[in-house]
A and B are shown apart, each in its own frame.
Chain A
Amino acid sequence: MLKRLFPHPLLSVTLTIVWLMLVNKVTSGNLALGILLGIVIPVMTAPYWPNRPKLRAPLMAAEYALVVLWDIIVANIVVAGIVMFKRNADIHSQWVVVPLELTSPEAITVLAGTITMTPGTVSATLSADGGSLLVHCLHTDDPDGIRDDIKTRYERRLKEIFR
């Protein structure tokens, strides 16, 4: 019964919270409407996510979010420095190939998004079989270091989150 009502508890909670944030005022009426949406939308959209991935390590996911936020701030400053103080001829842009150990499409999507959001790197495309990721790097003299950084900092954590 409970499973029928909440096929996707995390989505229900997220929807309720997002609704409350959207109306920007926490009242009992808004909360009731939010909970209603949190029940109705997952039930109606259930056919569209047949094999949804399970979040195995919620604490790890929180840590991941913090690490990424921190990296975004640090690297923003680095990129601003490159843009302002380097001559165009001194900016060495390179392609970096990142071989992937992740296999689930969701995990690869998160990784690619993270790479794009952390400044200095943009993920461009996947290999046709989804086995490696092509990343464009704004300025680096050490492409192997960038690759290893992505693998140890992000992919290792994602592997545990989407096991």
Chain B
Amino acid sequence: MDQDMTLLSELLVSVFLIVGGIFGLVGSFGLLKLKQTMQRLHAPTKATTLGVGGALIASMLYFLMIEGSVSFHELLITLFLFLTAPITANFIAKTFMQGDVPENELPQTGREFGWAVYDDPPSEEDEEK
């Protein structure tokens, strides 16, 4: 009985590891396959969420079911990942746009001002008007 439980938990941990591995692989493959920089940006911000997520869930399950202790580090890693990944992606996107995307390739803002990469923010004089 006890052995069955161990086998079951090991299976469950393996399933999450494999799912995580597959998504990590697909993310890296996307990086290779896609041709435009902006498209490539999608792969690492995305597939990594489930790829890393799968590995983290597996790790938590392992500690919970096999070691018999609760581990919180994985939750923190998830939190920090969710905080940092969008910022990195945004930095890369902006740097790329600055150098390689001419303003006229982009759609209009629908506002008085252009996109922040090319246009200055409203000055204080503008705001007084």
Contacts and interface: CB of A to CB of B under 8 A. Distances in A.
A45 interface: no
Q: Which of B39, B45, B112, B119 has the most CB of A within 10 A?
A: B39
Contacts of A129: 111-113, 121-122
Interface in B49-84: 49-50, 71-73, 75-76, 82-83
Nearest to A18: B76
B86 A97 contact: no
Contacts of A80: 23, 26, 47
Interface in A106-127: 112-114, 116-117, 119-120, 122-127
A148 to B, nearest CB: 15
A2 interface: no
10 contacts: A24-B72, A76-B50, A83-B43, A95-B107, A96-B107, A122-B42, A124-B38, A128-B116, A129-B113, A136-B93
Given A20-B72, A122-B93, 19 more contacts: A24-B73, A73-B50, A77-B50, A79-B47, A88-B34, A97-B108, A112-B86, A112-B90, A119-B47, A120-B46, A126-B116, A127-B113, A128-B114, A128-B115, A129-B122, A131-B109, A132-B111, A134-B109, A136-B38
Interface of A: 18, 20-22, 24, 72-73, 75-77, 79-80, 83-84, 88, 91, 93, 95-97, 99, 112-114, 116-117, 119-120, 122-132, 134, 136, 138
